[in-house]
Copies of this chain bind each other. A is one copy, B any other.
């Protein structure tokens, strides 16, 4: 059903029979996809939004300007390898980079919970400044709201980023072509496991460090090498699994991925086995998928490896079945790699 037809009518109770928003609606999986398609896109419907990429390429007077937005709500605020401040900068910088845009300016907007210690805010803000400097962006305007105790979680941050495309490539899903190689920029799953490891009842004695990092310099290196990049996408909520499914759908092509080629650190792998989690569904915050012509993939991998030695080619694009992602298992068989369902719950029994 085309929800755009029903303006002004009552809500057609979308999303199955679930009258309530649940955590799964924000988990990067199918429920979230449904929510976005059936509510937000249906209501806001316009050509730029329908472009479907993480950021919007705007037709301003001259050149191509890119804008992207994200709110950050991580618990806890500080985790091994980063905090909500680093995340808020890198997350938006990375969304710009994924559009092939050089990050220029950020806005930052805070929702603070009454009772938050200013010392805590200060530490977060310092992290933001450091991350912004490292990424070469300016935070150019902002906003602050305070909500009553029990209606926030210390700090929520929205950052909106503006960047520019100063090359002639269109880096976006429709450019993906049969025969392309799929690369990943480093080992996956560290951010999600770093955060999960801070939770009561799910903690390990050893710590996993988040992979949170800015990606523009890596993308810039790819661009400067003159590579014909077809598409880039950072693997955040929903992990590599979600990104591959989204891109295969948007490109209307099949992706074939080899599980054993996906780089995973031993500590992440062990923790995932113990908690019964599929590492392909675990969030990263500093890793991306790059898709480009096969004949350029060796050079691309070389450039990626210069930044992260664990970067790897993990699969290729075919035209067999639009939107399908297959996984070659460690024992050599093939299966479907489906979109994750929603909230990542430890599977124990």
Binding site for B on A (CB under 8 A): 7-8, 10-11, 13-15, 18-23, 25-27, 32, 35-36, 39-40, 43-44, 46, 48-49, 54-56, 58, 60-63, 65, 67-73, 75, 104-105, 107-119, 121-123, 125-126, 128-129, 132, 138-148, 150-153, 156, 158, 160, 162, 164
List residues of chain B with CB within 8 A of the CB of A148: 23, 75, 153
A118 with B160, Cβ < 8 A, contacts A69-B143, A71-B143 known: no
Cross-chain contact B160 with A69 (CB below 8 angstroms) = yes
Q: Is the CB of B69 within 8 A of A112?
A: no
The complex places the Cα of A15 from the Cα of B40 at a distance, in Å, of: 40
A118 CB contact (under 8 Å) in B11, B71, B109, B152: B11
Q: Are the CB atoms of A19 and B117 closer together than 8 Å?
A: yes
Dominant SS among interface residues on chain A: mixed
- Please judge, given known A-B contacts A69-B160, A144-B32, A145-B73, whether A138 and B46 are in contact too, CB under 8 Å: yes
CA distance A18 to B114 in the complex (A): 12
Docked-complex contact A126 and B156, CB < 8 angstroms: no
Does the CB pair A21–B164 fall under 8 Å?
A: no
Q: A46–B141 Cα gap in the complex (Å)? A: 10
Inter-chain contact B107/A160, CB cutoff 8 Å: yes
Q: Which residue of chain B is the closest to A107 with respect to CB atoms? A: B69
Given A69-B158, A145-B71: A164 touches B60 (CB 8 Å cut-off): yes
